[in-house]
Amino acid sequence: MEGSDPMATLTDDILADIISRLPYKSTCCCKCVSKRWRDLIYHRHHRKKMPQSVVGFFYEGYNECRSPRKARYFTNLSREYYPLVDPSLSFLPNCGSLDILDACNGLLLCRCWKAADPLKLDYVVCNPTTEKWVSVPATEWPSKVGVARLGFDPAVTSHFHVFEFIDEEAWGVPEDEQDDDFYRRIHTLAIYSSKAGVWKYQTVKQGPFAIPKHSVSSFLNGVLNLAADYNLIVAVDVEGDNWWLVPIPERPDYVDDTNGIFTSQGRVYFADSDRSKLSIWILEDYATGKWTLKHNVSHL
């Protein structure tokens, strides 16, 4: 009929199903169409179906007077109160306990210890807002490996990669043959592709280098960037074919940790804070290791 609203003839369930198939930015625009559309998107019944953008962080707290003494929390920094994220990730089945190893563009990489057999574990990649998850078959070393990271860029592909950095001790190199100058030197890199469904292994010929257990990482343009010991950034692509060991800008002797690696606006940044100032550098080129100072802010 002329002048009628065709959307008015759709039920809420059908309209919610249509909107749920849109990208997140389009969903945001739909909130402005009408009060009905806005309420539909925010409704508790439909919320988990919609594409979500949640900004926040997980952290663990410890209290001797509480049971359990250790607990995981999530702080939501989004402007919208919903959706809430279950910090325990209780939607993961058959998981006795888990460790969150990395987060990348909305997905989490977890090490999940099986409830039936506490000695066995799997990697699990999940979306904590939609509560969808997929199990990644474990390698022979996951319980010994300290560094595993996730690579995922939804703007490029729906597939993800898991990077497992296996050091000499975990690989089984005899103690007298291990590198004395680099404790837990990385010996082998294992890369899992969700598209291929298999692990790919290669002996690391670059280096030598070692990566701290809590090393910060970032993923950009198919390249994983990690903070390594001795003021280095280790970068490797998803195929393991291209490697770069990039020295960071000169730092004071009393600063030990190299953890300030971030990505923004398609660039890799390094943030360095000493006793007097915060410095932010942009990586111009992997091959030359050239950095450009972007900001210098005094703490005073």
Q: How far is CA 234 from CA 65, 185, 201, 209, in A?
A: 41, 13, 17, 8
98 and 213 share one domain: yes
96 and 155 share one domain: yes
Measured CA to CA, the distance from residue 50 to residue 41 in angstroms comes to 7
Is residue 284 situated within a structural domain? Answer: yes
Domain, as residue range, for 41: 12-47
138 and 203 share one domain: yes
Mean pLDDT of 230-258: 80
* pLDDT tops 70 at residue 3: no
Is residue 288 situated within a structural domain? Answer: yes
Q: How many domains does the chain have?
A: 3
Is residue 81 situated within a structural domain? Answer: no
Measured CA to CA, the distance from residue 281 to residue 261 in angstroms comes to 10
231 and 255 share one domain: no
Is residue 74 situated within a structural domain? Answer: no
Structure confidence by residue, pLDDT tens digits, 76-102:
887 665 557 888 888 887 777 888 999
189 and 231 share one domain: yes
HSE toward the beta carbon, residue 130, CA cutoff 13 A: 15
131 and 20 share one domain: no
226 and 272 share one domain: no
111 and 165 share one domain: yes
Among candidate residues 165, 178, 170, the one with its CA nearest the CA of residue 212: 165
129 and 194 share one domain: yes
122 and 222 share one domain: yes
103 and 231 share one domain: yes
> How many angstroms separate the first and last alpha carbons of the chain?
68
Pick the more confident residue, 76 or 5.
76
Is residue 178 situated within a structural domain? Answer: no
What's the pTM?
0.78
Helix H, strand E, coil C: the string for 224-274 is EEEEECCCEEEEEECCCCCEEEEECCCCCCCCCCCCCEEEECCEEEEEEEC
197 and 223 share one domain: yes
